[in-house]
Structures are given as C-alpha cells and as structure tokens.
Amino acid sequence: MTDAEFRSGFICFVGRPNTGKSTLTNAMVGQKIAITSSRPQTTRHTIRGIVHREHAQLILVDTPGLHRPRTLLGQRLNDLVRDTYSEVDLIAICIPADEKIGPGDRWIVQQIRQMAPKTTVVGVVTKIDKVGKQAVAEQLLAVSQLLGPEAEVVPVSAVKGEQVELLVDLIASKMPEGPAFYPDGELTDEPEETLMAELIREAALEGVRDELPHSLAVVIEEVLPREEQEGMLDVHAILYVERPSQKAIIIGKGGSRLKEVGTAARKQIEHILGTRIYLHLHVKVAKDWQRDPKQLGRLGF
C-alpha cells in the first residue's frame, strides 16, 4: 500500500457462541474491550473495537453469537446481529480448530448468504493453540470447502497472538480506501458505563452453573466522585437475576462470592478507566425479565 492508500471500514466477527470472537477482538485492538467467558452467549452488546495501523483503521463490531432464539431477549439479540450484517464491509466467520464443523456453523453461513450476499467473507480458524498442525490443516480445508473458493481462510490463536497481525493485514487489504473514522488512540466507542457493566457481568459469570448466564443483567446506577478521596470514583451497580435461587448463587455463603466478583471487576474497570474506584454491588431479582418487554427495555435491551 502507498501512503495515499489509507483504508478503513467495518468488520463483523460471526460464529456460534464461544468460538473466540471476543478474545480475537481484544487481541486485534491490543486491549480488553470485549468481555470473554467460557460461557456461551456472554456478549450482549455490539461493542466496537478500533484497530489502528499505519495504513488502515478497522472498526470491529463484536455481536452476540447468532443462535436459534428461545426467549424475547434471544430474538432481540438476533435482530441486533442481522442489522449489523447488512452494514459492514467484511464478515469474518470464526470456527474453532478444536471442534468439527456442525449444523450450527452451516446455519450461520446460510443466514449470511441470505442477509448479506454481496458482503466480503473471510474464514478464521480460531484456537489453533489447542490442536496439532495436522488438525489445523484439516480444519482449514473443511472451512474453505464450507465457504467456497472465493473466501480466504486464516488460522489464528488470539490467546498466543499467533497470526493475528496476518489477519489484520488481510482484512485491511479488503477495506475500501477512505479516511480514519476515529482519532488515533481511541479503542472503542462504547460508553464507559456499558464497559463497566459488562466487566462486572463477566466477573459474575466466572465459575457458575449453566443456568445463570442468560439470566444475569448488570445496570450501572450511578458513578460519583468520592468526596473524601480525590481522584477516586464511587460506582454503584445492580446485578439483576430472575430467581431467588440465582441471587443466592451470585452472593455466595456470607457474601463471599459477591466480594470475589467485586474484586475481579474492580481491577479490570480501574485498568480501563485509569483511575481508582470503589465498587458497590447489589443483587436484585427481576422475575423472568428475559421474556418481559418492559423489563427488557429497562435493562437496556
């Protein structure tokens, strides 16, 4: 690329839940801006990560995993994904190296072909650090057959940083020529409160049973300067669950689990804000909020 050929555009990572999309977003941006968890359906908002390179700016739209919805929340998350597909310059389909291609992957490819037939598609084989070279080669071939001869396929390990720059270069080469959309150094256009809520959610989801991820929402009530300590912020957050039994799981025996959640989230939030905070967490029950349009609206969906 010559100096005149600055390229910029919007990219969407898609794939089944838990295929490494958020980890890849963070690796390309160079800082944690999308929450990651071993739980499927962790991502709830389209977080935009901004990748700055000398000759390109890539805006990564990290959507929730497209899935067959079972609740109103699931339907709204899917609508969010569909809206995104039609507005981006490139769709990167993420398929992990350690799992065989299944009906879920084929369904997603079919959805993309229907909703965004003209959008450039790239295949990304993620988590290559989990398998041997032979398995990676076989998966590359399988993904290539799934996507067709026009689509290029790149193997990466976001955790180890392997081939991440190669993927950045490939995507950049497929962007239209154009100016930067964001100033240098800006990593996301998400409001700080959304990032804080997501980081608290991530900490609360660590090590809990399967029933909880979908049922947990976090709302930042207020952020205030701490009067007696200059440069410190008081952050008040409410964790909403659907049932009293879930409230007990989050709080833990004698409040021990909630304390752990607060400590883990506080470190991450302080790192992103660059300032010290005092985190106040409260857990409330909002019965069956995922199926209630009024409550969904109140919780930001």
Write out the two tokens for 116: 């965004």
The answer to whether the annotation marks 129 as part of a ligand binding site is yes
Residue 27, helix vs strand vs coil: helix
Binding site annotation covers 74? no
Cβ(97)–Cβ(142) below 8 Å: no
Cα 210–chain centre separation: 19
262 is in an annotated binding site: no
Does the annotation place 65 within a ligand binding site?
Answer: yes
20 annotated to bind ligand: yes
Q: Is 64 annotated as a binding residue?
A: yes
Alpha carbon distance 72, 216 (integer Å): 15
Residue 96 labeled ligand binder: no
Alpha helix locations (H) across the chain?
21-29, 72-85, 103-115, 133-147, 164-173, 192-205, 244-251, 256-273, 293-298
Question: Is 126 labelled as part of a ligand binding site?
Answer: yes
How many whole angstroms separate alpha carbon 103 and alpha carbon 128?
21
26 annotated to bind ligand: no
95, β-bridge pairs: 125
Is 21 assigned a ligand-binding role in the annotation?
Answer: yes
Query: Does 18 appear as a known binding residue?
Result: yes
Which residues fall in the annotated binding site? 15-22, 62-66, 126-129
Which residues fall in the annotated binding site for GTP? 15-22, 62-66, 126-129
